[in-house]
Amino acid sequence: MVQAINNAFDIKLAEDKTVVMFGEDVGVEGGVFRVTEGLQKKYGVQRVFDTPIAESAIVGTGLGMAMSGLRPVVELQFDGFTYPAFNQIISNVSRMHNRTRGRFKAPMVIRFPYGGAINAIEHHSESPEALYAHIPGIKVVVPSTPYDAKGLMISAIETDDPVIFMEPKRIYRAIKQEVPEEKFSIPIGKAKVLKEGTDVTVIAFGALIRECQKAIVMAEEAGISVELIDLRTIYPIDRETIVNSIKKTGRVVIVAEASESFSVGSELMAIANEEAFLSLEAPPKRVMGFDTIVPLAQGEPYYMVFPDRIFYEIEKTAKY
Amino acid sequence: MIFNDFNPLEDKTFRIIDNEGKVIDKARMPELDQETILNAYKSMLFARTADQMAVSYQRQGRMYTYPPILGQEAIQVAAGMIIREQDWLVPAFREMALMLAKGVSLKEIFLYYLGNEEGSNFAKANHVLPICVPIGSQYLHATGIGYSVKYQQKDEVVFPFIGDGGTSEGDFSEALNFAAVWEAPVVFTIQNNQYAISVPVKSQTRSINLAVKAVGFGMPGIKVDGNDFFAMYVAYKEALEHARAGKGPVLIEAYTYRKGAHTTSDDPSKYRTREEEKSWEKTDPLARLKKYMDSQGIVLENEEELIQSYKEEVDKQFLEAENFRPYDLEDVFNYMYVEMPDDLKRQKANYEQYLSWKEKRK
């Protein structure tokens, strides 16, 4: 996935002079995860550069650039380090288009690695998608494969609205997949049915798609037919795909890593109730993190969502 | 007062011994007896031994990650000698030697990097805050503690630490500003080790040095040779007196070099040269103090044996951390709130049901 995202940047930097890229350690080092490796060398320090450590400044100056003719792609180094920029995102980036009745746009991508299960120290394992999806005016995208990462990133850079692009660091290098060299894009706002099934709908995104796929193997062995939906975009959410599937299966299990209360899981349950109520044959179920801080490495196995816990809830929901 | 004598606007650096251990500022040389100097050296040696072993535990796959302090021992040992038990230590995350000096155990430090929150639950260091990973945010807490102790009329001084990169965060400036306005008893330290992961100081700021940032906030600032134990000692001594006298905050830039990696996940060869690393070799804080000691006939006997005994002590503490009781589900939930909300109790009960289902399937 690291290569696929890097390739998307390469394509956009080459074809669009207004694209600039910056953040902490993104230039000389090429990012702590090497996502921007080689780009400064190829496109120069005017276009790919290191900044002082100040997340609020990275996003705030990015907005200034976005309002004046550039398309910045800014990196915040980790999920847990995005919050100093929260003020800029919620108070300015998300509102500029609306406040000025369209006189200014904010075509920028704010990208960061997210998620746990990599034995990291504090503030390096969080899944803040709900915090950002809750902000009106922001699009939130999370890829689950290298192919999707490239196609979605190209769309994100080309979108005139601000996009939060969350990269599942746990699978940065875990999935090997052939990704076409040439430019292609995947539309923001469209979910994908990864597997069709008839008994239970499982909805997930990002790193947990893989965990769901393992759980589904267990479920199918137990005679349960599962339909798997990869959200790809958290907001704007693809109601149509979600509702069609739930209407078909009558059962839904939502899988994500963040704390479950007031989460993307909560939103999906609301959609199930609003639009597929009469089709439901079991209460919608969330398999998510606790309402706790992500524990440090020794406690992470309790918090993280693994395949057997997903299977456990799929089976209960199927039998309800 | 040294804060008046080394104007950061003129980019002066306070230094007492040179790289050869020769005293170049006799007037300001602190009066320390031989045993105190010897003990300071031993503390630096212990810290360096523990630091190197921590890196090797990580390399052996026994610890997840660790930020080495290699090269920054003099700052921390000197500060540790000045900071009193009632004073507050507000660390960033590269202050292992100083945390040890203030009563945190190596076992606790290791336990943290073994991925257990109990490693921040210091048994004997009440006025030491846990390390702070969100860069710079701890500086504000220090200013708040400064207000608090002043309000409560306590004889306590606050010692926050930050790196050079952290000075770019808004929190850094806000903390200095508040502390100055409140005349809070805070001794701010910047450990300027030249790098914020891969980004050098010159890409971080165009200030002639970092101490000069104090000027704009209306407080004294001084740039000190951070690899000179004696200079650091004197700077902290005067800073403590300044703060205790109710004169408000000061800022100390400890000019040093991060000889190791940012953390064990980092590879400095990506962004700096061997030549540069070598050029800093001659400023090494332990080597300099040793040269001074040699010149004064202060003898450290059986250094090899001493290091061996340190290694055994470090290993003992690491094993204690490794053999700490297994992490329990309770540990995830118990401390989220003082009073656990019902909803958390429900989540925990549900998870226990799942665990018993899992047990039955085996």
Q: Encoding tokens for residue A19? A: 């694209």
At B169 the pLDDT is: 97
Q: Which residue of A has its CA nearest to B336?
A: A292
**Which of A290, A293, A303, A313 to probe the B interface (max B CBs under 10 A)?**
A290
CA dihedral A75, A65, A156, A242 (to 10 degrees): 90
Taking an 8 Å cut-off on Cβ atoms, the answer to whether B354 and A312 are in contact is: yes
**Angle B348-B350-B352 from CA coordinates, rounded to 5°:** 70
Q: What is the pLDDT of residue B171?
A: 98
Q: Is A24 in contact with B197 (Cβ distance < 8 A)?
A: yes
Task: Mutate one of B132, B138, B202, B332 to test the A interface: name it (highest A CB count within 10 A).
Answer: B332
Helix (H, G, I), strand (E, B) or coil at A62: helix
Q: Do A298 and B327 touch (CB under 8 A)?
A: yes
The rounded distance, in Å, linking the Cα atoms of B152 and B184 is 12
Going by C-alpha positions, the residue among A128, A132, A131, A116 that lies closest to residue A294 is A116
Q: For residue A195, give Cα distances in angstroms to A199, A218, A229, B148.
A: 12, 15, 7, 59
Six-digit token string for A129: 């998608």
**pLDDT band for position B362 (50/70/90)?**
confident
For tokens 């290699």, name the residue.
Answer: B70
pLDDT in tens, A213-270: 999 999 999 999 999 999 999 999 999 999 999 999 999 999 999 999 999 999 999 9
- A54–B169 CB contact, under 8 Å: yes
Distance, in Å, from the CA atom of A48 to the CA atom of A72, rounded to the nearest integer, reads: 10
- Whether residues B198 and A57 touch (CB distance < 8 A) is answered with no
Q: How far apart are CA B46 and CA B40, in angstroms?
A: 10
For chain A, domain boundaries? 2-171, 192-319
R_g (Cα) of chain A, nearest Å: 19
Cα–Cα dist A29/B271, whole Å: 6
CA-nearest residue to B268 within chain A is A29
Which tens digits make up the pLDDT trace of B214-273?
999 999 999 999 999 999 999 999 999 999 999 999 999 999 999 999 999 899 999 999
Task: Specify the pLDDT at position A172.
Answer: 97
pLDDT at B354: 96
What band does B112 get if pLDDT is binned at 50, 70 and 90?
Answer: very high
- From edge to edge, which strands make up the β-sheet containing B221-225? B13-14, B221-225, B250-255, B187-192, B158-163, B88-90
Helix (H) or strand (E) run with residue B340 in it: none
Contacts of A120 in chain B (CB under 8 A): 64-65
Among the listed residues A150, A244, A156, A167, the one whose alpha carbon sits nearest the alpha carbon of residue A203: A244
Out of B165, B197, B351, closest to residue A32 by CB: B197
CA A147 to chain centre: 14
Q: Residues A13, A39: contact at Cβ < 8 Å?
A: yes
Query: pLDDT, tens digit, for every residue of B70-105?
Result: 999 999 999 999 999 999 999 999 999 999 999 999
Which of B114, B265, B329 has the CB atom closest to A302's CB atom?
B329
* DSSP code at position A94: T
Helices marked H in chain A: 2-15, 39-43, 55-66, 86-88, 96-99, 129-133, 146-158, 208-221, 239-249, 264-276, 300-303, 307-319
**Segment A122-177, tens digit of pLDDT:** 999 999 999 999 999 999 999 999 999 999 999 999 999 999 999 999 999 999 99
The crossing angle, in degrees rounded to 10, of helices B170-182 and B138-151 is 10
Same fold for the pair A2-171 and A192-319? yes
How high is the pLDDT of residue A2? Answer: 97
- The confidence score (pLDDT) of residue B361 equals 87
Beta bridge partners of B73: none
Q: Which of B48, B242, B258, B288 is catalytic?
A: B258
Mean pLDDT of the B278-289 span: 97
Which among B315, B326, B323, B325 is positioned nearest to B60, based on CA atoms? B315
Its pTM stands at: 0.95
Phi, psi at A206, each rounded to 5°: 60, -140
Q: Do A119 and B64 touch (CB under 8 A)?
A: yes
Whether A28 sits inside 8 A of B198 (CB atoms) is: yes
Look at A25 and B336 and tell me if their CB atoms are within 8 Å: no
B115/A300 CB distance under 8 A:
yes
- Residues A80, B161, B331, CA angle at the centre, nearest 5°? 45
Q: Taking CA atoms, what residue in A is nearest to B353? A: A312
Which chain A positions have a beta carbon within 8 Å of B354's beta carbon? Answer: 309, 312
Q: Which two tokens stand for residue A257?
A: 């890593």
- Rounded to whole angstroms, the Cα distance separating A61 from A110 reads 12
Residue range B2-327, CATH number: 3.40.50.970
Q: C-alpha distances in angstroms, B306 versus B56, B100, B103?
A: 19, 18, 21
Q: What does the alpha-carbon distance between residue B346 and residue A283 come to, in Å, rounded to a whole number?
A: 17
Structure tokens at B50: 């523990």
Q: Which of B163, B130, B314 is nearest to A296 (CA)?
A: B130
Q: What is the distance between the alpha carbons of residues A118 and A32, in angstroms, rounded to a whole number?
A: 14
Residue pLDDT, tens place only, A267-299: 999 999 999 999 999 999 999 999 999 999 999
- pLDDT value of residue A47: 98
CB contact under 8 A, B344 and A300: no
Coil vs helix vs strand at A186: coil
Tokens encoding B245: 């006298």
Number of residue pairs across A and B with CB atoms under 8 Å?
Answer: 122
Place of tokens 């299977």: A311
ipTM of the complex: 0.93
Under 8 Å between Cβ of A164 and A141: yes
Rounded to the nearest 5°, which phi and psi values hold at B244?
A: -65, -30
Instruction: Specify the CATH architecture of the domain A192-319.
Output: 3-Layer(aba) Sandwich (3.40)
Whether B62 is catalytic? no
Angstrom distance (rounded) from CA A200 to CA A208: 17
Give tens-digit pLDDT for A54-91: 999 999 999 999 999 999 999 999 999 999 999 999 99
Q: A-chain residues within 8 Å CB-CB of B117?
A: 295-296, 299
pLDDT in tens, B346-355: 999 999 999 9
Contacting residues for B156 by C-beta, under 8 A, at least 6 apart: B86, B87, B88, B127, B149, B185
CATH number of the structural domain A2-171: 3.40.50.970
Nearest Cβ partner of B133 from A57, A123, A293? A123
Distance from CA of A218 to the nearest CA of B (A): 13
**Catalytic entry in B15, B48, B127, B262:** B262
**Secondary structure class of A169 (helix, strand, coil):** helix
- Specify whether A123 is catalytic: no
Question: Which CA distances in Å does A155 have to A63, A165, A194, A276, A315?
Answer: 18, 11, 20, 30, 37
Backbone angles phi, psi at B234, to 5 degrees: -65, -40
Distance from CA of B219 to the nearest CA of A (A): 23
- What pLDDT, in 10s, does the model give residues A19-32? 999 999 999 999 99
- Taking the CA of residue A267 and the nearest CA in chain B, the distance in Å comes to 18
Looking at residue B1, its pLDDT comes to 84
Distance of CA A275 to the CA centre of its chain: 24
| Closest residue of chain B to A293, computed from CA coordinates | B336
A60-65 CB contacts, 8 Å cutoff, 24+ apart: A60/A85, A60/A88, A60/A92, A62/A22, A62/A93, A62/A108, A62/A110, A63/A88, A63/A92, A63/A93, A63/A96, A63/A106, A63/A108, A65/A20, A65/A108
Mean confidence (pLDDT) of chain B: 97
